[in-house]
Amino acid sequence: MRFIDEATITVCSGNGGRGCLSFRREKFIPRGGPDGGDGGKGGDVIFQASPDKRTLYRFRHQTVFKAPHGAPGQGRQKTGRSGSSLFIPVPLGTLIKDATTGELLADLVDPGQEYIAARGGRGGRGNARFKTSTNRAPRYTQPGEEGQTCNLHLELKLLADVGLIGLPNAGKSTLISAISAARPKIGDYPFTTLVPSLGVVDPGDGETYVVADIPGLIEGAHQGAGLGIQFLRHVERTRFLLHLIDASAIDPGAPLASYATINNELARYNPRLAQKPQMVVLNKLDLPEGRIGAEAFAAAWQQGPPVRISAATHKGLDRLRKLLAQRLSQHHATQA
């Protein structure tokens, strides 16, 4: 299944059923009077946040959704059956926007959260409703109300506690596969990861948390370079960022260059992203050049000692899991 995080669709609620024109006809009741029932209400179109959904893939092939119409009224003052609501499940973190104006209509982040995108039309009234003392045999009814048609743009922003960011080949896919059950594609070349991956991490003595592996960013990502512009939106949902740096690629003459590049792209895409708390982690300490690069980075770094790991050999990963859990606990405490 392909990872699809944007889609434009059309939803149509059901029309209301027409009112019934009917008169009571029974033996020995020559003037039974009007008894036409009302039409049924048209079905609503309702989006529902579902934890079982991961992408917007189904909307790539189905772009029009129609709820059933209400049934017309019947004689003997029987109301027509209402059209059933059409429920459309979407992943947690789905934004629903007006496709024409871009107005945000709903942000579905909690399991079971619902948004009525289009309300069904009301059923028309039958002729029994129009009987009065001066008009005892009305011969007119109401047609049902038409349903609503809306063009909507769906946008998915993944919900995760920790977002992995960094340049291509920093080792993000290797790291998330080492600390969780996620199994993204891993290769010794840039842009191995073409879609975001989610992994659940168990620190061993605390609450589990979700880590998102965001495809590698490069300089100019905020303008569409590489794959970054497609996935920067997912970083917005994370509580804080784990900035992974390939220590073996650090230039001793400019050890903070890669760190500055990523943060510059975050700030230029959305200034609030650059203000998110970050944990800097130096990877590939199993390589001699990685240890040299880590020393150069630590000497230039002014915000405390960076975390040092080797995702390939799993060195330092137990400590990293616990540090992430502690950081999340601190974040929850400050937000409470």
Q: Which of 39-48, 130-139, 223-232, 236-245 has the highest mean pLDDT?
A: 39-48
Three-state DSSP at 6 gives: strand
CB 293 within 8 A of CB 248: yes
CATH of domain 6-156: 2.70.210.12
Confidence at residue 114, expressed as pLDDT on a 0 to 100 scale: 96
How far is residue 163's CA from residue 240's CA, in Å, rounded to a whole number? 7
Residues of the chain within CATH 2.70.210.12 domain(s) are 6-156
Mean pLDDT of 213-241: 60
pLDDT beyond 70 at 70: yes
What is the residue-averaged pLDDT of the chain? 83
Confidence at residue 333, expressed as pLDDT on a 0 to 100 scale: 61
Q: Write the CB contacts of 182 (distance below 8 Å, at least 6 apart in sequence).
A: 176, 197, 198, 199, 200, 211, 213
Residues of the chain within CATH 3.40.50.300 domain(s) are 162-335
Confidence at residue 98, expressed as pLDDT on a 0 to 100 scale: 94
Confidence at residue 258, expressed as pLDDT on a 0 to 100 scale: 87
Q: How confident is the model at residue 122 (pLDDT cuts 50, 70, 90)?
A: very high
How far is residue 230's CA from residue 156's CA, in Å, rounded to a whole number? 11
Give CATH superfamily name and number for 162-335: P-loop containing nucleotide triphosphate hydrolases (3.40.50.300)
- Write the pLDDT tens digit of every residue in 236-295: 778 888 999 999 999 988 999 888 888 887 888 778 777 888 899 999 999 999 999 999
Q: How confident is the model at residue 336 (pLDDT cuts 50, 70, 90)?
A: very low
Neighbours of 265 (CB within 10 A): 24
The residue written with tokens 């003392």 in the block is 133
CB 165 within 8 A of CB 244: yes
